[in-house]
Amino acid sequence: MEALGVGRNLWHRGAPWHHQRQGHWLLLVLLLGASALALATLALGPVAMAPDRVIAALLGHGTPIETAIIWHLRLPRLLLGIAVGVSLALAGAALQGVLRNPLADPGLIGVSGGASLGAVAVIVLSGRIGIALPAALQSWLLPAAAFLGAGVVIGIVFTLARRHGETSVATLILAGVAMNAITGAAIGALIYVSDDDQLRDFTFWTMGALGGADWPLVLVVIGLTTLSAPVLISQARALDLLQLGERAAFHAGLGVEQAKRCTALATAIAVGAVTSAAGPIGFIGLVAPHLVRLIQGPRHGILLPASMLMGVCLALAADLVVRLVVPPAEPPLGLATSLVGGPFFLWLLLKDRGGRPGGGDHA
């Protein structure tokens, strides 16, 4: 079984807790943290509300202003933030398991780039595309395009990486780098032909934010997240077996290529959905699984649900920071996650400078 350089060394680094009971305690702590952040998201803002008033507004017993703030502004934003955290963290944890490298995230193999290309195409070409669609389908156009872009890219990179019946991890990563360059060039071409209004919409979208959440789009994103999340969590045993190497996993009875295709499809749905609604938000898919792995270890039965809750905590905490740091102005959410995630990623690399660089290949 090959060495995977920095990522492999980090993967096997010991965690302080190994018992199943402690894993359940971690899930409980993260659930309580996510619940507290959800309540804070509903209560805090330019118009602060006490928790009892939040509950009254949710039940329809608040004042008209309170009810409007909760139901039309903060609740859609909260649900989108939950979807972002769940989708990106689960996709990151699943891809790290498939690639056997905990430094991977959905952007590494071009998934985020493909989703961004699909969404930007709708932003720039919506006047030509959306006009031909019934009104009931127009809310699906952006997430559908983002999913299609993510699905096409992930299909291409997995096809290119497949050789002799197995998927080469090193080739998968290199193909992802190439696809990121291609999708970046295509996005640049769309920007070149866009008008001023489209360019402004694109600029704000690329920074990542939850402030544009509205019910039609949020319901679509929640639906796609609800579809993809159980699929990714169900791959826990397959991802555990893949850590032994693909040949060992195959001899243990795992349908290796089927597990990879299932993970790839669910990842494309998850990342495409949230990218279309919130824009490209980096590093949650990297940081959340890695924090859980440092605490709990690499077993995916706990890692996947704990990463999901950790992702929700990170997304909601970052959104609270950008909402409260310089009110009433609101810096983009993507800037906040990148300011934290970028140094965290560099810290991971510097922490293991003694490891051999490289991504490795299939076992």
CATH 1.10.3720.10 fits 85-98+105-346, yes or no: no
Task: Classify residue 211 by burial, with Cβ atoms within 10 Å: 0-12, 13-18, 19+.
Answer: middle
Phi first, then psi: what are they for 281, rounded to 5°?
A: -115, 115
Write the CA distances from 193 to 30, 145, 199, integer angstroms. 45, 19, 9
Q: Would you state the pLDDT for residue 155?
A: 84
Q: What pLDDT is recorded for position 158?
A: 80
115 and 260 Cβ atoms separated by less than 8 Å: no
- Tell me the three state secondary structure of residue 337: helix
pLDDT digits (tens, 9 = 90+) for 27-52: 999 999 999 999 999 998 888 899 89
Q: What is the pLDDT of residue 357?
A: 42
- Cα angle 155, 158, 161; round to 5: 145
pLDDT digit string (tens) for 316-361?
A: 999 998 888 877 777 778 777 877 777 877 777 676 655 544 444 4
Gyration radius of the chain's alpha carbons = 20
CA distance 334 to 318: 9
| pLDDT level of residue 10 (50, 70, 90 thresholds) | very low
Sequence spans of domains, the chain: 85-98+105-346
Do 80 and 213 meet the contact criterion of CB atoms below 8 Å apart?
yes
Q: Is the pLDDT of residue 2 over 80?
A: no
What average pLDDT score do residues 105-120 get?
82
Query: pLDDT digits over 66-93, tens only?
Result: 899 999 989 999 999 999 999 999 999 9
Cα separation, 83 vs 324, whole angstroms: 21
Task: Tell me the per-residue pLDDT of 161-197, one tens digit each, with 9 for 90 and over.
Answer: 777 666 677 787 788 889 989 998 998 888 888 888 7
Q: Which of 244, 267, 257, 239 is nearest to 162 (CA)?
A: 257
Is the Cα dihedral 117, 119, 121, 124 positive or negative?
Answer: negative
C-alpha to C-alpha distance for 349 and 343, rounded to whole angstroms: 10
Cα 21 to chain centroid distance, Å, stands at 27
What pLDDT is stored for residue 134 in this prediction? Answer: 60
